[in-house]
Amino acid sequence: MKTKVAIIGAGISGASIARVLSKYENLEVHLIEKAPDVGWGVSKANTALIHGGYDDDPEKYPMRAKLCIRGNRLWHQWVKELEIPHVWNGALIVALKEEDFDELEKLLERGRQNGVPEMRLVDREEVFHLEPNLTREAIGALWVPIVGQIGPIPAVIALVENAVANGVKTHLETEVREIKVENGEVKGVETNNGFIEADIVINAAGLYADRIARMAGIDYFEIHPRKGEYWIFDDDVPGPKRVLFPTPTPISKGIVVTTEISGHLMIGPNAQDLPPEEKENLATTKEGLEQVWEGAKKLWPQLPPRSKVIRTFAGLRPEPTGGDFIIKAEEEVWGFINVAGIRSPGLTSAPAIAHEVAGIIENSLGIELKEKEKWNPYRKEITHFFMMRPEQANEAVKKNPAYGKIVCRCNNVSEGDILEAIERMKFIGVKTPSVDSVKFRTKATTGTCQGSFCRPKIIQLLAREYGVEPWKVTLKGKGSEIGIGDVKALLRGEEA
């Protein structure tokens, strides 16, 4: 008989756990997410870095220190298996004054302690060889070649597609309201869509992990949101080749300057601690954005005019009591595993967290995991017309003329790309058609015009493929419907 596992939260941690647990034939895995699509919580808005593992003090934060470097190594394999957009461009932690080298020496030593390979200090000449347009104030840096960048939501989507292909069941738009515990053992979760039976409940609920834990009677930690704000520039603005950090201070890692995976210069984040009740506060502030701008100028003085900004946004990180990841089977409630407080470097650590959880199921819960004979580690990336060579594009259009119709002109996204995205949305159980679901799979609406041109056509395609009226298509799930109804009903003489 199979052991039933319910994972609460389909962010980068929950999705990674689902993928790893899909390897085992004696587990029946359910992935539960309250949002209409996967990866829309903490995983959606961050710096998208695969960190090097030099930053976390193993004495203060042993779980972060251990899992960050393991996660980095695993991502090098996972991005290939799952065809996730990525770049391994390395990071420079830049020294602007002589005393910065004291801090860089400490980071170098900590990195070696944590098992980070190939780190070294570089002088002024080499730093400009690695990043020619860096501020002229730079006098050297710590060079960490294993740092990289990925698309965080494309990564979550890839993980979930692969997990579903290997038998995981998704439950989207499903909010957990109660955890059923009998005689000190987990029995399942009560949701807005009914009861889901489970022998093991894994709490990977991001900002809400403390609330989920309290439903099981576990209340020794609290999660408060830490807000970070960002600017993104048009893709014709040159950005750095490397990920650029200032030398950290006791208060902050500082403002990062990077070229994100789609080729846009991005600066941020700052860090503002919010009270626990502000878990949905994604508002940007004038003061916060100015702080980011001024911080970025110290490393990248040639910031473009603000007319080149295409978007500002904020993300929230789940800061736990004590600062370290909380990953453990809770003794008071058999079958309840916390994966809580997954703040930075959570994205980096996610694959290692997933393996850690599999180890907990075997070692702490005593369930022997039996590997499937035919587990498939591979998943193909969605077709992107803008990445095709001319001969490939011609071939694609011959096979399917929809690839010849460009819907998003900023990013050269075709109707064929969008139709494939919609198919993939349905494959993982997306029930409510939304423009954001298409955006995160295709890059449509993320260019200079931010969807002003292509959004109406995307809405038409979603309405047709989901069999709903266009005004019922949403921007990002129920409550964000694009229209108010059929405004021509009166013209046709119908009652409104």
Maximal C-alpha separation, the chain = 78
**Which one, of 123, 96, 91, 126, lies nearest residue 241 by Cα?**
91
Q: Is 125 exposed, middle or buried (0-12, 13-18, 19+ CB in 10 A)?
A: exposed
Yes or no: say if 163 and 171 are a contact pair by the CB < 8 Å rule. no
**Which one, of 492, 475, 472, lies nearest residue 483 by Cα?**
472
Return d(Cα 292, Cα 302) in angstroms, integer.
Answer: 14
In order of 27, 108, 111, 152, 391, the CA distances from 57 in angstroms are 35, 12, 9, 25, 51
Yes or no: say if 231 and 266 are a contact pair by the CB < 8 Å rule. yes
In order of 56, 100, 267, 294, 473, the CA distances from 141 in angstroms are 18, 9, 19, 20, 49
Return d(Cα 45, Cα 204) in angstroms, integer.
Answer: 17
Buried-exposed string 370-407: b where 16+ CB fall within 10 A, e elsewhere: eeeeeeeeebeebbbbeebeeeebeebbeeeebbeebb
Nearest 5°: the CA angle 480, 484, 487 is 155
**Which one, of 44, 71, 106, lies nearest residue 477 by Cα?**
44
Collapsing DSSP to helix, strand or coil, 193 comes out as coil
Q: Which residues pair with 182 in a beta bridge?
A: 185
Query: For the packed helices 12-21 and 346-363, what is the interaxial angle rounded to 10 degrees?
Result: 40
CB atoms within 10 A of CB 464: 13
Yes or no: say if 239 and 257 are a contact pair by the CB < 8 Å rule. yes
Single out the catalytic residue among 30, 51, 171, 264.
Answer: 51
DSSP assignment letter at 368? P
Yes or no: say if 6 and 30 are a contact pair by the CB < 8 Å rule. yes
Return d(Cα 213, Cα 204) in angstroms, integer.
Answer: 10
**Which one, of 53, 70, 188, lies nearest residue 112 by Cα?**
53
Q: Is 264 a catalytic residue?
A: no
Which residues participate in catalysis according to the annotation?
A: 51
